[in-house]
Amino acid sequence: MMKPPRTDYDTVDSFIKDLDPLRRSKKWYAFQGTVNGKHVALKGFELWLQVFRVNGVRHGGDHGCERVRDWKEKIKEVLS
């Protein structure tokens, strides 16, 4: 499973910038750490966020996003 290089991000944009190459890798990716002051646990494959919890609240799950833009917007919406 692939992971971003850091476990603490000050901005959502820097988190997405490091996560995006993992999304494109066609492999499972995961993250557990802090983004924008919030505790985040995330596990995904391409545009599907199987696990996406922020401060213990579930935001991911049953379906993936259809477009990369939707994937990025979902992450930004939840973490901003």
Which residue type is seen at 75? I
Phi, psi of 28 (to 5 degrees): -65, 145
Q: What are the extents of the domains in the chain? A: 8-79
Report which DSSP code applies to 78: H
Q: What is the pLDDT of residue 63?
A: 73
pTM exceeds 0.95: no
Mean predicted lDDT score pLDDT of the chain: 95
Tell me: the pLDDT tens digits for 42-54? 999 999 999 999 9
Q: What is the bridge-based pairing of β-strands 48-54 and 57-58? A: antiparallel
What is the band of 4 on the pLDDT scale with cuts at 50, 70, 90? very high
Over 70: is that where the pLDDT of 79 sits? yes
Distance, CA of 52 to CA of 23 (rounded, Å): 14
